[in-house]
């Protein structure tokens, strides 16, 4: 790899690049192709940015900031109306063609073998023949997503949903209209588009959309500038905030405290902005409280019953090698997990995975043995 | 002050003491008497430890650890039965006589002018004439407590409740029996003592006591070894955990995230240990959710209505100078507050205080103006 050329394209001095190597910038030769990966954001380069052998750069997907109150945020962020798309709940990938092979990068810049298999299965290769520099940004979502398993999408396994398009070596996105047009042209699934709204009606319309999504167990929306001149923002349903908490409190000692706090604060602002009636507010309070205590109580009861606390997820692969590679991928990411032998089933192989949540397991065990806090 | 002598009594080298001065160890000459104060725990010396001019040491009050599950914790911590006392909800003070004057030290080792006035008013000076080295450890509680205002105690202002007795220069406590005997001898109010329980019955009895305390808005219990050979532990009611959250979420951005998280986790363990029935569990979930969303919603609504977010507390002083000194005390502790002019009322002067909660105020203001998170 030509470090000097890569540094220059990234706008860094070769000396700086040299110093970062092995620290902020990690070298990886598995799975192929070989790449350099930015572990953290540095000098305006997003975390997850990747440089391949031919000095091709795939920039990290930019963080989408969150509206805490819809109405004022929309008016502050967008000059002239908005486009509203569904925010799918899965993991963010960037799909590109490198050395003639389609690969899927996680947010952090790892090549995920499982996401790569799904991308190869669902994205027609012609799109990269026609546009070799394309970077397809999308969400991998479904019940067989081992990072964020969700039953609420119309699929048995894991699907790719396109939501943005960029180019190698570039940080800008094509914008919503061109993204959906490209998806249609090549027959790629894309995130649902709810439409375009004027500034005055947007907050009210989005409230209805988000409440409907929430009732169906879906996450929320991304709000974009129709002219693609302003950064998008996101907003989520109460049910999604609570589902996050429900998942996390099952493993209460393995999640950061800001994960909990931020979701409660979102609920507080939403209750205020949406002027919950008395019944709605009671329901919201109960939903929030139960989303924390329900799973935590189950965890403690499971431990009292002598069961280990683990996080059970599944993947559904076409090729057995993908399952083996995914196990190695988890290992390299520092995830401790036990993989069951694959089970053949229609369409591929199912692999059950137990992620070890050591901190919650050990903490709960010590407390039920009388350890003090 | 003889630093060398003080260091020796503390078990530190004079050089170490010299190095810590102005950093971990702070010098204070206001209010008198002059003292050195340990800002942080160091070399086994508790934070809040104070050294006076005559090299008299008042050690910091040791942290009481918390049981997350009553039954196993009691069995693990106590060999042979327990004494159960009420844990009052106020602020912890150590009262001692220095240079012939009774003073009250806060947990952090500050002389609190207001607590000192209350201590002088409620503790007969003979106790220190008879026992010059006495350190009376107790809780200041009541609605006019400016740190932790609580309406649930049988007083209009702020009362001192003795819960432990120590001596200058010593770290050990006299134990529950001698503490209550001393309180009775000198007519000092002490924390309620619920009785002595065997190991097998203790958890069940304490559950009843804590549930009853919770229903009356009180905090919980401290569980002590009747033989004073083991460290005490504490346990609190669900209502108290939720009241804490209710207070803190009104000022959601000015409290540490561990404050929120720890209280939710306590509820989770209590729900599991007490095997809540369906109705109880629904009530617990609702109580928890409402304790967070209720006050937060009110804060956001107040800010939308253009009101500043402040924390309103009150003190009730006998002497106007105490109010002036307390204002200076807050200033030195880094608390930003606005003091109203004193209002004469039966028994003294009432002073309303507005503590500024800048972070919550500013954060809420920015969000309602559309700032993203």
Instruction: Give the residue from A165, A169, A170 showing the smallest Cα distance to A57.
Output: A169
Tokens of B290: 């409402």
pLDDT beyond 90 at B75 = yes
- Residue-wise pLDDT for A33-61, tens only, equals 999 999 999 988 999 999 999 889 999 99
Give CA–CA dist A111/A93, Å, rounded: 9
The answer to whether B13 touches B43, Cβ cutoff 8 Å, is no
Considering chain B, what percentage of its residues have pLDDT values greater than 70?
100
Which segments of chain A have a pLDDT < 50?
Answer: none
Q: What is the ipTM of this complex?
A: 0.94
Give CA–CA dist A55/A3, Å, rounded: 8
Helices and strands, number each (H, E), in chain B: 12, 17
Tokens of B252: 């959601």
Choose the weakest-confidence range: A163-167, B3-7, B225-229, B343-347.
Answer: B3-7
> What residues of B are in contact with residue A77 (Cβ under 8 Å)?
370, 372
**Total residues found in chain B within this entry:** 373
Tokens of B140: 């200041």
Give CA–CA dist A170/A248, Å, rounded: 35
CB atoms within 10 A of CB A340: 13
Write down the pLDDT at residue B72. 98
Give CA–CA dist B117/A40, Å, rounded: 55
Q: How would DSSP label each residue in A279-327?
A: HHHHHHHHHHHHHHHHHHHHHHHHHHTT---EEEEEEEESSHHHHHHHH
CB contact, 8 Å: A235 with chain B? Answer: no
Give CA–CA dist B114/B103, Å, rounded: 10
Q: How would DSSP label each residue in B290-359?
A: HHHHHHHHHHHHHHHTT---EEEEEEEESSHHHHHHHHHHHHHTT--EEEPPPEEETTEEEEEEEEE-HH
**In angstroms, how far is CA B256 from the centroid of its own chain?**
17
Tokens of B325: 């000194």
**Mutate: best of B75, B303, B373, partner A, most A CBs <10 A:** B373
Residue bearing tokens 């003070």: B93
Tokens of A60: 């990290």
Give CA–CA dist A127/A131, Å, rounded: 6
User: At B66, is the pLDDT very low, low, confident or very high (cuts 50, 70, 90)?
Assistant: very high
CB contact, 8 Å: B62 with chain A? Answer: no
* Residue B164: strand, helix, or coil: strand
Tokens of A23: 């620290």
Write down the pLDDT at residue A48. 97
**Mutate: best of A289, A300, A302, partner B, most B CBs <10 A:** A289
Write down the pLDDT at residue B187. 98
Give CA–CA dist B20/B24, Å, rounded: 5
Write down the pLDDT at residue B3. 85
User: At B43, is the pLDDT very low, low, confident or very high (cuts 50, 70, 90)?
Assistant: confident
pLDDT beyond 90 at B54 = no
CB atoms within 10 A of CB A104: 25
Tokens of A58: 């795939």
> What residues of B are in contact with residue A285 (Cβ under 8 Å)?
286, 289-290, 293-294
Closest-CA distance, B206 to chain A, in angstroms, reads: 15
> What residues of B are in contact with residue A367 (Cβ under 8 Å)?
68-69, 72, 269
Tokens of B102: 């009774």
Q: How would DSSP label each residue in B224-260?
A: E-TTS-S--EEEE-HHHHHHHHHHHHHTTTSS-HHHH
Write down the pLDDT at residue A271. 97
Residues 92-121 of B with CB under 8 A from A: none
For A10, A26, A54, A111, A221, the CA distances from A17, given in Å and listed in that order, are 9, 11, 17, 22, 37
- Nearest chain B Cα to A363, which residue? B68
Write down the pLDDT at residue A2. 82
Q: Which helix (H) or strand (E) holds B134?
A: strand B134-141
CB contact, 8 Å: B257 with chain A? Answer: yes
Write down the pLDDT at residue B360. 97
pTM over 0.90: yes
Instruction: For residue B179, give every residue at least 6 positions away whose Cβ sits within 8 Å of its Cβ, in sequence order, or none.
Output: B162, B163, B164, B165, B173, B190
- Residue-wise pLDDT for B134-191, tens only, equals 999 999 999 999 999 999 999 999 999 999 999 999 999 999 999 999 999 999 999 9
- Residue-wise pLDDT for A92-144, tens only, equals 999 999 999 999 999 999 999 999 999 999 999 999 999 999 999 999 999 99
* Strand ranges in chain A using DSSP code E only, listed in sequence order: 25-28, 35-38, 50-52, 57-58, 65-66, 82-87, 91-98, 101-106, 134-141, 159-167, 193-197, 220-224, 233-236, 310-317, 337-339, 343-345, 348-356
3-state helix, strand, coil in chain A (%, to 5): 40, 25, 35
Write down the pLDDT at residue A211. 98
User: At B195, is the pLDDT very low, low, confident or very high (cuts 50, 70, 90)?
Assistant: very high
Helices and strands, number each (H, E), in chain A: 12, 17
Give CA–CA dist B332/B110, Å, rounded: 10
Q: Which helix (H) or strand (E) holds A278?
A: helix A278-304
Question: Which residue among B271, B276, B293 sits closest to A285, beta carbon to beta carbon?
Answer: B293
Rg (CA), chain B: 22
Tokens of B151: 């309406």
* Residue A42: strand, helix, or coil: strand
Give CA–CA dist A206/A212, Å, rounded: 10
The answer to whether B180 touches B83, Cβ cutoff 8 Å, is no
Give CA–CA dist B349/B323, Å, rounded: 9
Rg (CA), chain A: 22
Contact yes or no for A297 and B271 at CB 8 A? yes
Number of residue pairs across A and B with CB atoms under 8 Å? 170
Strand A134-141 and strand A193-197: the pairing is: unpaired
Instruction: For residue A56, give every residue at least 6 positions away whose Cβ sits within 8 Å of its Cβ, in sequence order, or none.
Output: A98, A168, A169
> What residues of A are in contact with residue B77 (Cβ under 8 Å)?
370, 372
Write down the pLDDT at residue A1. 75
Tokens of A40: 């953290």
* Residue B119: strand, helix, or coil: helix
Tokens of A134: 């394309």
Question: CA torsion angle for B190, B192, B194, B195 (degrees, to 10)?
Answer: 10
Contact yes or no for B265 and A369 at CB 8 A? no
Contact yes or no for A368 and B69 at CB 8 A? yes
Contact yes or no for A285 and B281 at CB 8 A? no
């Amino acid at each position: 790899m030509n470090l000097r050329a890569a540094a220059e394209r990234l706008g860094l001095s070769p000396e700086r690049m040299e110093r970062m190597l092995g620290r902020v910038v990690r070298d990886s030769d598995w799975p192929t192709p070989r790449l350099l990966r930015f572990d953290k954001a540095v000098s305006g380069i997003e975390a997850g940015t990747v440089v391949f052998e031919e000095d091709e750069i795939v920039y990290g997907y930019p963080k989408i900031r969150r509206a805490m109150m819809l109405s004022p945020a929309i008016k502050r962020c967008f000059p002239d109306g908005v486009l509203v798309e569904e925010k799918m709940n899965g993991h963010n990938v960037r799909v590109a063609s490198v050395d003639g092979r389609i690969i899927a990068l996680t947010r952090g810049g790892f090549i995920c073998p499982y996401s790569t298999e799904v991308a190869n299965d669902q994205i027609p290769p012609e799109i990269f023949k026609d546009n070799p520099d394309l970077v397809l940004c999308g969400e991998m979502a479904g019940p067989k997503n081992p990072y964020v398993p969700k039953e609420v999408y119309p699929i048995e396994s894991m699907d790719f949903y396109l939501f943005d398009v960029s180019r190698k070596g570039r940080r800008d996105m094509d914008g919503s209209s061109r993204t959906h047009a490209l998806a249609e042209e090549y027959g790629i699934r894309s995130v649902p588009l709810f439409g375009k709204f004027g500034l005055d009606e947007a907050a009210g319309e989005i409230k209805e959309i988000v409440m409907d999504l929430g009732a169906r167990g879906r996450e929320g929306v991304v709000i974009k500038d129709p002219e693609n001149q302003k950064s998008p923002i996101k907003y989520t349903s109460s049910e999604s905030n609570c589902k996050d908490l429900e998942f996390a409190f099952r493993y209460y000692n393995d999640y950061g405290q800001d994960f909990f706090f931020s979701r409660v604060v979102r609920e507080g602002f939403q209750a205020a902005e949406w002027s919950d009636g008395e019944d709605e507010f009671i329901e919201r309070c109960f939903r929030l409280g139960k989303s924390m205590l329900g799973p935590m109580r189950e965890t403690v009861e499971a431990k009292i019953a002598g069961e280990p606390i683990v996080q059970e997820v599944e993947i559904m692969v076409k090729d057995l090698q993908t399952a083996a590679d995914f196990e190695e991928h988890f290992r390299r990411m520092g995830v401790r997990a036990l993989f069951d032998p694959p089970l053949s089933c229609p369409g591929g192989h199912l692999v059950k995975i137990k992620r070890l949540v050591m901190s919650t397991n050990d903490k709960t065990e010590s407390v039920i043995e009388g350890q003090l806090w």
